[in-house]
Chain A
Amino acid sequence: MKATGRAADKSQKTGQKSAFAAAAEAAGLLPVKGKSAVKGQYQTGIACRTGWVFTDSVDVDTAYLAAEPESVRWDYGLGLEAGPRGEMAVWVEPHPASSAREVAKVIAKLDWLEAKLALAKYKGLRMLTDKAAAAGVRRFHWLAMTGGMRIRPGSKEAALLSSRGLHLPRRHLEL
C-alpha cells in the first residue's frame, strides 16, 4: 500500500516501521500505511494539519469482529507524526449523530477501547495515545460526516461526552 507523507516516505526508505505500526503489531493488530485502514467513505473526513502526516492506521473493529462479535467496538486508530512533537496515536469513531441516544453508544465504544488500551500488549499504543494528550492533541474523535446532527451543545449528552474527553461529533476532522 502506498505510503503518504514525509514520515511514511522516510519509513519506506529506511525500511523502519513507524512507532505506531510497531505498537499495533505488538497489540496483535494489522497496521496499514497512512490512513488506509479507514474505509474510503470516511477517509475524506479525516485530515491532519499542515506539516503533520498519518504514518499507519488500524481497523480495530474488524480485528475483533470474529473474537468479540457482540462487543461494542471502536473503529479506527491512526498514527500521527506531528512534526517536532514526534509520533502519537489518535482514535476515530465514524458513527451517526442522528439522535442524542447515540452518545451512550459511542461512550460504550470508548469504554471498550479504553479497556483494550489498558491491556499489557497495548502498552505501546497506550503510550502513543498518552503522548497525544500530553501534546494537547485530542485522543478520541467522533466523526459524523453525513445524516442528522442532533446533539445539542449544552445538553446533558454533550456534557457526558466532555467528561470522557470527547468533543461533539464533527462533519470533518482536522487532527
Chain B
Amino acid sequence: MNENTPLPAAPKTRQKRKPRPDVLRLEHVGPIQKAEVSFGDLTVIVGPQATGKSIFLQTLKLVLDRDSIHDTFKHHSVAFNGNSDAFLGGYYGKGMAAAWKEDRSKLRWNTKAFTLPQLAKPSKAQHQEERLFFVPAQRVMSLRDGVTQNFGQFNYGDPYTLRYFSDAVHDLLQNEFGAKGNLFPQPNRLNDTLRKPITEHLFGGSTLAVDANDFTKRLVLKIAGHKEGLPFLAWSAGQREFTPLLLGLYWLCPAGKLSKRAGIDWVVIEEPEMGLHPQGIATVLLVVMELLRRGYRVVLSTHSPVVLDLVWALQEFKQLGGTESDVRALFDLPNNDFAKGLGRVILQKDCRVYFFDRNQTVRDISKLDPGATDSAESEWGGLTGFASRTGETIADLVDRQATRPRRKKSTGLPNGVGAT
C-alpha cells in the first residue's frame, strides 16, 4: 500500500457519556494477593517475574472467551469430562489448577463474581464468539524451525494461549498467504509509514518469505547475495521473536477495507520487546498504536522502560496540550495523512499502567511521575530502579572524590542562560 492508497478508516466514535471501564479483580490466585485492574484503551502491566502477570492476562481471556475456549478444545477433540482441574491444567498449563484456593481465591469481572472451577465449564449462554486475541510470551514456539504449528501439535499442559495463537498463525500462513511468496513487505498489509521502520529496524532490509521446497512451507529471510534464503535458526533472536508477532498483527489487521478482525475487541501482547533493540521496540509500539487506531483495546505486559516511555510521553503530551506533530516527532514519522491521523487518534486514548509487586496489592502507577513519593511510581514499577540506583551510586562516588582536584566540565551554555 503506498501513501495514496486508501486505508481502512478508524471507526468513528460518537461523543457520548464515557462508559464505565471494565474491571478485573483477582484475590489470592497463584502469586496474586489482590489485583484490581481498570482497563483503559491501552493498559500496560509491569512487575518482576512470577508476580502473576501472565495468570492475570490469561484469566482476562478466560473470562471474555470462556465458551470459545471450550469450543476450541472440543473442536480439537480435547475432552475434560467435567474435570475442572484437568481443564485449568490444559488452559493455563499443567499443575496450574492449584493456583485457585477454594477457601480464599476470588475473581470478579465488572460486577459479576466467578470461580475458576466455574469457568472451567462452558456457560449456559454458549457465547462462542472470540473477543480477545492473545499474543503470548512464548510465541517463538509457534514457529519451530520456521514452520508454523497447529493446535494439535502441542501437548496437554502447553498453555492454551500459545496453542491457539500458533494455530491462528498456522491458518494465516497456510490459507490467507498460501500462494504468496513474500510475507513482508506486503503491499496490502500495514501502511507504508509502518512498513518502513519495520524494514529498517527489524528486518534490516531483508524480505520475509515462504519457502515451499521439500513440501513444507518454511519461513526464510531473503537477503541480497543469499540464494536459498536464511533459515529460521540463522535469524537474529529479535527477528525470530518479532516474526510471529508480525503474523499476529497481520491476523488482526486484515487486508482490504476491514479495519478489524470481526468480533475481536481486545488484544493482549505479552512482552512485545522480546529480543529487540530499543529502536525495534519503538517500531513495535508504532504498530501497537495502529491497533489502537483501528479500535482495539490493547493490553501489554512488559519489562521494558521503552514501553513506559511511550505511555509517559502520551500522558505528558495530553497534559501539556501536545498535538499529533509531537507524536510524529517522538516516532520520527513523516508529515503525511496516515501519520497525522495516527497521532491525533492516539492522543485521545486512555492509557493506564499497573504494577504487580511481589506479595503486595497491585498498584495503579499510571501517572509515572518521576517525582512521585512512592518509588513504585517514580521508578516505573522497578523498570528504572536500577538506572536510578546507578545514578545515585555514581553521584555518591563523585562526592567522595570531591577532595581531589576538581574536574572542569562545561555545559556549553552561554553565560546568562537560565538564570533564576
Contacts and interface: CB of A to CB of B under 8 A. Distances in A.
Contact of A139 (B385, B402, B417): B402
A138 interface: yes
Interface residues of B, number: 40
A70 B390 CA distance: 35
B419 A153 contact: no
Interface string A101-128: 0101101110100100010000000000
A129 B402 contact: yes
B415 A71 contact: yes
Interface string A133-175: 1101011000010001111111000110111111111110000
B391 A71 contact: no
Given A104-B413, A152-B309, A164-B409, A171 B391 contact: no
Q: Which of the four size classes fits the interface of chain A?
A: 35 or more
B394 A153 contact: no
A111 B410 contact: yes
A105 B417 contact: yes
A72 B415 contact: yes
A72 B419 contact: yes
Give the one of B378, B390, B400, B411 with max A CB within 10 A.
B411
B369 A165 contact: no
Contact of A153 (B370, B396, B416, B418): B370
B17 interface: no
A154 B305 contact: yes
B403 A153 contact: no
A79 to B, nearest CB: 17
Contact of A130 (B395, B402, B409, B415): B402
A87 interface: no
Contacts of B418: 72, 102, 104-105, 108-109
A162 B419 contact: no
Given A105-B417, A105-B418, A171 B371 contact: yes
A61 interface: yes
Interface string B395-408: 11011101100100
Contacts of A118: 406
A100 to B, nearest CB: 11
A72 B391 contact: no
B373 to A, nearest CB: 7
A154 B420 CA distance: 26
A165 B394 CA distance: 7
A158 B388 CA distance: 8
B409 A111 contact: yes
Give the one of B398, B412, B413 with max A CB within 10 A.
B398
B411 A104 contact: yes
Nearest to B398: A165
A71 B373 CA distance: 33
A170 B391 contact: no
Contact of B316 (A72, A95, A130, A148): A148
Contacts of A151: 370
B50 interface: no
A75 interface: yes
Given A107-B411, A171-B371, A159 B391 contact: yes
Nearest to B319: A148
B387 A108 contact: no
Nearest to A68: B415
Nearest to A114: B406
B410 to A, nearest CB: 7
A35 interface: no
B415 A154 contact: no
Interface in B153-198: none
Nearest to B320: A148
A72 B417 contact: yes
B384 interface: yes
Contacts of B413: 72, 104-105, 108
Give the one of A133, A154, A163 with max B CB within 10 A.
A154
Contacts of B364: none
B420 A73 contact: yes
A150 B415 CA distance: 24
Nearest to A166: B395
A97 interface: yes
A167 B388 CA distance: 9
Contacts of B65: none
Contacts of B316: 148, 150
A70 B420 CA distance: 10
Interface in B231-278: none
B395 A165 contact: yes
A162 B392 contact: yes
Contact of A138 (B372, B395, B409, B417): B395
Given A72-B417, A72-B418, A111-B410, A153 B399 contact: no
Interface string A37-60: 000000000000000000000000
Nearest to B312: A152
Interface of A: 61, 70-73, 75, 94-95, 97, 102, 104-105, 107-109, 111, 114, 118, 129-130, 132-134, 136, 138-139, 144, 148-154, 158-159, 161-171
12 contacts: A72-B419, A132-B399, A148-B316, A148-B319, A152-B309, A152-B312, A152-B384, A153-B385, A154-B305, A158-B387, A164-B398, A171-B373
Interface of B: 305, 309, 312, 316, 319-320, 369-373, 378-379, 384-385, 387-388, 390-392, 394-396, 398-400, 402-403, 406, 409-413, 415-420
